[in-house]
Amino acid sequence: MELNPKIHQIPNATAHRLPIYYRSLKKLNEAGVERVKSKELSKMTQIPSATIRRDFSHFGELGRSGYGYEVVYVTEVFRELLNVNNIINVVLVGAGNLGQAILRNNFKKERNIIIKGAFDNDSSQFGKEISGIQILPMEQMKDFIISEQICTAICAVPSEVSQEVVEQLIDAGITSILNFAPGRIKVPVNIQMKYIDFSSEIFTMVYQNEALYPANLVEED
């Protein structure tokens, strides 16, 4: 199946929604649903139907007006786009409370994503095993990444050391990094950096909630 354009050539917002579409389409496929309209998919994903149609248009004629989308075909399109048939090996840096929680989960619902190694600079953590993954010293990280040919990392270290750690990851050959520290990191243009900032997300939700439900803020006399 030839798909054009590739994922990195589409808007970032569209790329972020692709896993949501895939999971929903996969559920429909497993339930034996043969076709779905954008309005029906909108109810499942909580994404406006107009946005769904616009996102899907980046990948050619996936459906027909008034008919909808063939679930099997579109599921396969997103499966290929997301490379879900391939195993994605990941390293985790930072084995504190957050890092250990990530290790315990280890993408149990995503069989194609596997944390292969975990690293920390706290000697009290060395040798500790969580979900079958042994925590190793940072000094072993580069050789491990190279030997396992890993390109993706999760960075769960404090903000004050995140720049240094990210530079070490890049030096080891990592090209995609998911960072849990709120501070922005300087990286080369060819490095994919994604940030998860819990406090920012909460502030955003509160702002949006106040915009949606301003009456909740009015005090009764």
Residue 115 Cα to chain centre, angstroms: 14
Angle at 169 between CA 190 and CA 9, to 5 degrees: 25
pLDDT band at 16 (very low <50, low <70, confident <90, very high): confident
Per-residue pLDDT band for 5 (boundaries 50, 70, 90) equals very low
Percent of the chain with pLDDT over 70: 85
Please report which confidence band the pLDDT of residue 79 belongs to, taking 50, 70 and 90 as the band edges: confident
Average pLDDT in the 150-162 region?
Answer: 92
> CB-side exposure of 108: number of CA atoms within 13 Å?
7
- Tell me, what's the pLDDT at 58? 86
Please check whether residue 179 is in contact with residue 155, taking contact to mean a CB–CB distance below 8 angstroms: yes
* Confidence band, pLDDT 50/70/90 cuts, at residue 4: very low
> How far is residue 26 from each of residues 70, 76, 96, 154, measured CA to CA in Å?
12, 9, 35, 26
pLDDT tens digits for range 185-205 = 899 989 988 888 777 667 777
Task: Read off the pLDDT of each residue in 19-48 and give the average, rounded to a whole number.
Answer: 89
* pTM for the structure as a whole: 0.66
Per-residue pLDDT reduced to its tens digit, 130-150: 988 999 999 999 999 999 999
* Whether the Cβ atoms of residue 136 and residue 144 lie closer than 8 Å to each other: yes
